[in-house]
Structure 1
Amino acid sequence: MELLLFITVVLLIWFAKIYNQLQRFGNDVKRARADIMASLKKRLDLAGRLVDITQSYGEHEKFTQLTTAENMSSITDAMVAARKVDQVLNQVSSLAMAYPDLKANATYQQLMSQLHDIESDLQKRREGYNASVSHYNAYRSSLPQTLFASSVGFHEAPFYSVDEAGLEALPDFKTDDGQMLKATLQKMGDKASGLVNQAGKQLNTALAEVKGGQEGQGRQ
């Protein structure tokens, strides 16, 4: 029985170590994803300010309508907004070609410079996100964690990709919130308890048989 308890404790420590690693690598992916969202929101704000300074040129009503950053509650909203920003930037560039005064505007130049910096930052964050995804997926798919990772809430993470139409896609990614772990540990505890009880019954049966044999010999 002591050996069984020792093995159970070792297995629990081993499982906890792997779970914590999965959690840590999964959090790295989510953190990198949040960084991308922050850059997309900043890019949206800057594009909105660009639209504002075009009002004096009488072209702002022709621009693609932008959703405010506060309404970007999901990655789907962020990606839709990012595509609209691309359209707006193309429209602004065309307008600047038609209105040299706009192109020479100090605020316009500052905003365009900041947008250029955001684009560079986004590229780095995309690469950082995909690196985190690659690291997480590689660990998750290795033995022995690949045997139970999905069952405790750690599914494969999606890469930041570009589809055939040239549109960027960053699907949602979630990991275990603790509920699946509690359920798994409960099952393991119940199973361990069942094994202990079974071993106890077998031991009692064996002791009873030994005792019965000894009593039989005593009568003889």
Structure 2
Amino acid sequence: MRAAFPSLFVLPSPAALGRWLAMAILASLLSACGYNDFQSKDEAVKAAWGEVVNQYQRRADLIPNLVATVKGYASHERETLEAVTKARAQATSIQVTPETLNDPEAFARFQQAQGQLTSALSRLLAISENYPQLKADAAFRDLQSQLEGTENRITVARQRYIAAVQEYNVLARSFPTNLTAKVFGYPVKPSFTVENEKAISAPPAVKF
């Protein structure tokens, strides 16, 4: 009597086959309508934005020591020193999250605050030209060097963010992927505007 062996291949039930087919069709449709592209470009924008925020925070971290050093040689420049301190406090008080990218008003507040801080820093560095002893101070020169490097990294980070947003927004505005954007909640993202571009993109002049 021959032993009965179980079949090596078990055909799926019609219901299971239907589910697999539906999933395959859905995956194909999502790919065709740009859903996968939205996911990858959205992540690219978030990564670029994170680097922008990190570099601005690094600049903010340098400011207290810079202000303290300048105050040691130019304490009577009180108005300029207070302006920098106030601008830094305003910039760092703004809560920045990935959701900021979906809120044009919050993004504009962040951009404006950073622009004001850039302007205040420019004025602070300008007055250092009037104080030879301050310019010769090793700590001040080191802070200037760090600030210059940070400003350059801010510029690069912003350029990368602008490029990433441009690619994403083209997808969000173009047909038929704009329909996918509406269905799955991928709104057009804000970028740095022309109005404040000059103030924000031009780093404070750092002279030695």
| Preserved contact between residue 172 and residue 178 of structure 2 (Cα < 8 Å) | yes
Equivalent residue letter for 1:61 = R
Q: Partners in 2 of 1:15 and 1:113 — Cα distance?
A: 53
2:129 is aligned to: 97
Which stretch of structure 1 is more off in the superposition, 110-119 or 68-77? Answer: 68-77
Shift of 1:113: 1.1
Shift of 1:73: 1.4
Shift of 1:129: 0.9
| Among 141, 146, 150, the residue aligned to 1:114 | 146
* RMSD across aligned positions (CA): 3.1
Distance 1:77 1:61, change over 3 A: farther
Confirm whether residue 44 of structure 1 aligns to residue 53 of structure 2.
no
Shift of 1:157: 2.2
1:217 is aligned to: none
1:31 is aligned to: 47
| Preserved contact between residue 129 and residue 160 of structure 1 (Cα < 8 Å) | no
Shift of 1:80: 4.1
| Among 21, 25, 41, the residue aligned to 1:11 | 25
| Preserved contact between residue 119 and residue 199 of structure 2 (Cα < 8 Å) | no
Query: RCO higher in 1 or 2 (8 Å CA, sep ≥ 6)?
Result: 2
Q: Partners in 1 of 2:196 and 2:27 — Cα distance?
A: 46
Count of residue correspondences: 169
Equivalent residue letter for 1:25 = K
1:124 is aligned to: 156
Distance 1:67 1:161, change over 3 A: same
Give me the TM-score of the superposition, normalised by structure 1: 0.64
Give the secondary-structure state (helix, strand or coil) at the position aligned to 1:148. Answer: helix
Equivalent residue letter for 2:75 = G
% identical aligned pairs:
24
Structure 2 unmatched runs, 5+: 1-13, 97-106, 202-208
Give me the TM-score of the superposition, normalised by structure 2: 0.67
| Preserved contact between residue 40 and residue 78 of structure 1 (Cα < 8 Å) | no
Equivalent residue letter for 1:79 = Q
Distance 1:28 1:81, change over 3 A: same
Structure 1 unmatched runs, 5+: 170-220
Give the secondary-structure state (helix, strand or coil) at the position aligned to 1:158. Answer: coil
Give the secondary-structure state (helix, strand or coil) at the position aligned to 2:191. Answer: coil
| Among 58, 71, 88, the residue aligned to 2:75 | 58
Task: Tell me the alpha carbon deviations over residues 133-175 of structure 1, each in whole angstroms, 9 at most, x when there is no partner.
Answer: 1222233445542223122101122232331784559xxxxxx
Equivalent residue letter for 2:36 = N
**Larger Rg computed on CA atoms:** 1
Q: Partners in 2 of 1:158 and 1:69 — Cα distance?
A: 18
Confirm whether residue 20 of structure 1 aligns to residue 20 of structure 2.
no
Q: Partners in 1 of 2:76 and 2:165 — Cα distance?
A: 42
| Preserved contact between residue 47 and residue 88 of structure 1 (Cα < 8 Å) | no
2:101 is aligned to: none
Shift of 1:109: 0.9
Q: Partners in 2 of 1:143 and 1:83 — Cα distance?
A: 35
